[in-house]
């Protein structure tokens, strides 16, 4: 489902819909707060949570990938634990990119497993235990900021710099999984992702250090300049992908934003391919969407990977130093 338009309203003018749904939002926030009062499992290895307060995609996967690289460069044995959104396996199971499919473990865990051992587990504590037993010296919890099953030693909250926290109301009155004040109070760091203009306009007061990041296309040697493309993306904010593609000089003659994690069925791909052919264009998608492509479509679709660049990593480095990582 696509988010309601009124969720994007400013906090001081949330819209009549938000006011009407405020009682339900209050109940939702109270239920979350009650759940979070439970003590989580404390493991002998540090747990770093990459999460958000908003629902939907804010850039957690690129953040986790950047964190993996940073920790591995410091000599850490990094494992990732994910719920495996969209997958059928309950776990705990270690993801094998050569064996598992997105339908089994979700698309993001396969992408993460290409960089570090990754576990899928509906029970986050069981997944973290499995990772620790397998030799992890640090565990990245992909999402799970509102899940109390595991004690977090460092919580990094990711937010889209342009969208911010929307109208700052809890579900269903707004896009938040809990009240903004409660979520920010538990955050050790907040990472805002977006271009410079969006970073400048981000005005939410924060009680913790802020990191500023931007998604940068990965150099693959592909000659994007002037290439006629039909771009499609099933991520939290497809417009970000389209902007990245255009920044490389590609000409987008057709585009389609899909729902986050939307299955790429044969029927859908056949339709998109026909539209691309009619426009004399190449199909292009994101690295995460490519994981969900049926095997016989992989050779037909170009992939544009992106990576997170953090402007000043010093607050993050200081936090990792405190964990002796």
- Judge whether 249 and 223 are in contact, CB under 8 Å: no
Judgement on whether residues 147 and 233 belong to the same structural domain of the protein:
no
- Judge whether 303 and 290 are in contact, CB under 8 Å: yes
Judgement on whether residues 98 and 239 belong to the same structural domain of the protein:
no
Ligand-binding site membership of 42 (annotated): no
Ligand-binding site membership of 229 (annotated): no
Judgement on whether residues 152 and 211 belong to the same structural domain of the protein:
yes
Q: Is residue 27 part of a domain?
A: no
Ligand-binding site membership of 57 (annotated): yes
Q: Residue 220: what pLDDT?
A: 82
Torsional sign, CA 147, 17, 241, 279:
positive
- Burial label for 201, CB within 10 Å (0-12, 13-18, 19+), is exposed
Q: Nearest 5°: phi and psi at 316?
A: -70, -45
Ligand-binding site membership of 118 (annotated): no
- For the chain, 325 residues long, the average pLDDT of each consecutive 10-residue run is 88 95 96 93 96 88 96 97 90 94 92 96 96 97 93 96 95 96 97 95 95 91 93 88 92 92 92 96 94 92 94 96 90
List, in order, residues 6 or more apart from 278 with CB less than 8 Å away.
Answer: none
Q: Is residue 220 part of a domain?
A: no
Ligand-binding site membership of 192 (annotated): no
- CA distances 7 to 30, 70, 96, 169, 294, Å, are 20, 34, 38, 8, 34
Q: Is residue 249 part of a domain?
A: yes
Q: Is residue 17 part of a domain?
A: no
CA distance 242 to 244: 5
Cross-strand partners of 309: 214
- CA distances 304 to 54, 79, 132, 280, Å, are 25, 25, 33, 19
Number of domains in the chain: 2
Q: Is residue 119 part of a domain?
A: yes
What's the token pair of residue 313?
A: 């990593």
Q: Residue 57: what pLDDT?
A: 74
Judgement on whether residues 256 and 189 belong to the same structural domain of the protein:
no
Ligand-binding site membership of 54 (annotated): yes
What's the token pair of residue 68?
A: 């993996």
Judgement on whether residues 177 and 66 belong to the same structural domain of the protein:
yes
Torsional sign, CA 85, 87, 88, 92:
negative
Judgement on whether residues 246 and 315 belong to the same structural domain of the protein:
no
List, in order, residues 6 or more apart from 118 with CB less than 8 Å away.
Answer: 79, 80, 81, 82, 94, 95, 109, 112
Q: Tokens 């953040």 — which residue? A: 63
The domain that contains 180 carries what CATH number? Answer: 3.40.50.300
Q: Residue 260: what pLDDT?
A: 82
Name the percent of the chain in helix, strand, coil, to the closest 5: 35, 20, 40
Q: Nearest 5°: phi and psi at 78?
A: -95, 130
Ligand-binding site membership of 303 (annotated): no
Q: Residue 1: what pLDDT?
A: 61
Ligand-binding site membership of 60 (annotated): yes
Q: Is residue 31 part of a domain?
A: no
Judgement on whether residues 148 and 181 belong to the same structural domain of the protein:
yes
Judgement on whether residues 60 and 202 belong to the same structural domain of the protein:
yes
Judgement on whether residues 209 and 293 belong to the same structural domain of the protein:
no
Cβ neighbour number for residue 210 with a 10 Å cutoff: 17
Q: Residue 178: what pLDDT?
A: 96
Q: Domain of residue 280: give its range.
A: 228-304
Q: Is residue 38 part of a domain?
A: no
CA distance 125 to 82: 11
- HEC letters along 106-172: CHHHHHHHCCCCEEECCCHHHHHHHHHHCCCCEEEEECCCCCCCECCCEEEEEEECCCCCCCCCECC
Whole-model pTM: value is 0.91
Which letter, b or e, does each residue of 259-281 get, where b requires 16 or more Cβ atoms within 10 Å of its Cβ?
ebbbebeeebbeebeebbeeeeb
Judgement on whether residues 275 and 167 belong to the same structural domain of the protein:
no
Judgement on whether residues 75 and 179 belong to the same structural domain of the protein:
yes
Judgement on whether residues 71 and 201 belong to the same structural domain of the protein:
yes
Q: Is 77 helix (H, G, I), strand (E, B) or coil?
A: coil
């Amino acid at each position: 489902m696509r988010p309601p338009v009124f969720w994007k309203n400013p906090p001081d003018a949330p819209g009549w819909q938000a006011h009407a749904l405020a009682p339900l939002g209050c109940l939702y926030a109270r239920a979350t707060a009650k759940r979070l009062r439970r003590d989580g499992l404390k493991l002998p290895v540090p747990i770093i949570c990459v999460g958000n307060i908003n629902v939907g995609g804010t850039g957690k996967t690129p953040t986790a990938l950047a964190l993996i690289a940073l920790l591995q460069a410091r000599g850490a044995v990094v494992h990732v634990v994910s719920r495996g959104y969209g997958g059928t396996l309950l776990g705990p199971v270690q993801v094998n990119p050569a064996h598992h499919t997105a339908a089994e473990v979700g698309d993001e865990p396969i992408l993460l497993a290409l960089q570090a051992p990754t576990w899928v587990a509906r029970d986050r504590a069981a997944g973290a235990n499995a990772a620790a037993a397998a030799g992890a010296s640090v565990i990245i919890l992909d999402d799970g900021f509102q899940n109390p099953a595991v004690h977090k030693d460092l919580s990094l909250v990711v937010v889209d710099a342009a969208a911010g926290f929307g109208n700052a109301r809890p579900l269903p009155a707004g896009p938040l999984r809990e009240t903004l004040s409660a979520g920010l109070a538990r955050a050790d760091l907040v990472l805002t992702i977006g271009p410079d203009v969006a970073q400048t306009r981000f005005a939410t007061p924060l009680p913790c250090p802020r990191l500023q990041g931007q998604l940068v296309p990965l150099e693959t040697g592909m000659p994007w300049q002037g290439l006629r493309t039909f771009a499609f993306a099933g991520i939290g904010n497809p417009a970000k992908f389209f902007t990245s593609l255009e920044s490389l000089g590609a000409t987008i003659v057709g585009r389609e934003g899909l729902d986050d994690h939307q299955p790429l069925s044969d029927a859908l791909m056949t339709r998109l391919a026909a539209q691309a052919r009619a426009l004399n264009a190449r199909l292009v998608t994101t690295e995460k969407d490519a994981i969900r492509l049926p095997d016989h479509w992989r050779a037909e679709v170009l992939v544009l990977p992106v990576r997170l660049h953090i402007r000043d990593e010093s607050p993050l480095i200081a936090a990792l130093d405190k964990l002796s990582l």
